[in-house]
Amino acid sequence: MFGFKLLLLLLWQLFYLSSARPAIENHSTRLLERHGVKRVDFRLASQEEGLYYTELDTAMRDILLQVRNLSQQSVLTQFDWIRARNVEAGRMQLPVLQSARFPCDLSAGRSPAIPNDVRQLRPGDIDIVATCGDSSNSGTGILGLGELDAYVEYRGYAYTGGGFETWRTALTLPNILKLYNPGLYGYAAGHSLGADVNVSRFNLAEPMLNIQDLPFQAHVLVERFRRDPRVNLREHWKLLSIQVGANDLCSELCHAPSPEHFLRVVARQLHETFRILKEHVPRLLINFIVHPDIDELLSLLARIPPKCAQRMPYFCSCYNSYNNRTLYDAAKRFLHLQLSIAALPEFRSADFAIVTHGILRNISSLWSEQRFMDRHFFANDCIHYSQLGHAVLAKQLWNNMVGQADLTSVEEWRKPFKHFQCPTLSSPYLRTESDVF
């Protein structure tokens, strides 16, 4: 039945394309134009430097959304069975007994009065949580068992922006923050596409997203904030987690007109993203989770099991291109470019801060068992993290927010509740200083 519905949707889209209807000016089109993405006629020849979309993108957008949603809803009808299979495979965190207490003292988690300075922000002072970025944040494939559900978005389990279940069965940053502030809002309440605002809320992450797409996400986030009556834009403290960059290295850099062109676009779009957020979102703390150095990424990909390695040209088409010294050097500069933009003085004020987190450093050794990656921490596709992997990342991000994550002990790092750090009476505030790389 699913295949039949998909066929009907594709046939309908072919008819739509052949009818040559005039383009419709919609909200997305206006947002794209606002941050400099131009509409052009489709042709195979390369465009001059810039950001573009064509009538093919416009026409296919709705059909792809319908196909994704149909796949999402079809798979989620079997959620309990899928979850049970992941438990059997050891890809879910072990549940914490109801008799066990949360590792931290929650009594001093919220300030007596709303702080005016981001440097005096406690975990319980966060009222709104939001997420931008790629498939790591949208929860893509977390419980995936095969090809059909490999791209289903288990958004409620995403470590940065998922709030499904509780910390006892799904450790995520929002599920931790909910303990300090039960009124926390903005996390994904379940598993859905980002377009389903009633479920995804302020988790806007999208699969295959690149840094050049971030300004668009920033515009959408600002509008969702403004339209939601539960958000007091001026008074509420907001925490935004951004993780992006893997797709830039795996799918963009080697296909760009030149490495310099790629780096210019990244610099412009990342700066524009932070500018939009600082200009339109007061009282904002940003977790900027950067991907590791290119050497770490290549080392991790080299440990992918043989059954997944054959997919490498699909999910990381640039993998073999880094033998080219020019591309390799550009990938090295890519990391430092992100760090330098996030550290600009213009993005630091009493009510705005960007904290760069290096929790993904050493991933090739920490996620590995002997010479191959440990499959318990990865979904069936070998690319995305499992729920257990997301739980470990949630702990690491939390530790880095309240102290500084210790990556020296592999065994402690790999267990969700080992070496779990907490705010203290002498150090109750969230960090506002970035990691040193």
24-33, 90-99, 156-165, range with the lowest pLDDT? 24-33
The per-residue pLDDT for 374 is 86
Segments making up each domain of the chain, as ranges: 117-414
C-alpha to C-alpha distance for 68 and 64, rounded to whole angstroms: 6
- Burial label for 32, CB within 10 Å (0-12, 13-18, 19+), is buried
Mean pLDDT of 243-256: 95
Classify domain 117-414 at the CATH topology level.
Rossmann fold (3.40.50)
| Per-residue pLDDT at 217 exceeds 80 | yes
User: Taking CA 377 as the corner, what is the angle to CA 413 and CA 73, rounded to the nearest 5 degrees?
Assistant: 135
C-alpha to C-alpha distance for 274 and 217, rounded to whole angstroms: 11
Mean pLDDT of 260-281: 98
The per-residue pLDDT for 364 is 67
* R_g over Cα of the chain: 21
C-alpha to C-alpha distance for 81 and 103, rounded to whole angstroms: 31
Q: For residue 139, is it left (φ>0), alpha (ψ between -120 and 50) or beta?
A: left
Mean pLDDT of 236-253: 96
The per-residue pLDDT for 76 is 94
The per-residue pLDDT for 248 is 96
| Per-residue pLDDT at 370 exceeds 50 | yes
* Residue that wins the pLDDT comparison between 82 and 5: 82
The answer to whether the beta carbons of residues 111 and 122 sit under 8 Å apart is yes
pLDDT band at 56; cut points 50, 70, 90: low
10-24, 112-126, 388-402, range with the lowest pLDDT? 10-24
| Per-residue pLDDT at 84 exceeds 70 | yes
pLDDT band at 299; cut points 50, 70, 90: confident
SS3 149: coil
C-alpha to C-alpha distance for 213 and 215, rounded to whole angstroms: 6
pLDDT band at 24; cut points 50, 70, 90: very low
Mean pLDDT of 240-264: 96
Mean pLDDT of 326-337: 96
Instruction: Give Cβ neighbours of residue 105 (< 8 Å, ≥ 6 apart).
Output: 422
Mean pLDDT of 10-17: 50
The per-residue pLDDT for 42 is 43
| Per-residue pLDDT at 52 exceeds 60 | no
Q: How many CB atoms lie within 10 A of CB 160?
A: 31
The neighbouring-strand residues paired with 357 are: 289
| Per-residue pLDDT at 418 exceeds 50 | yes
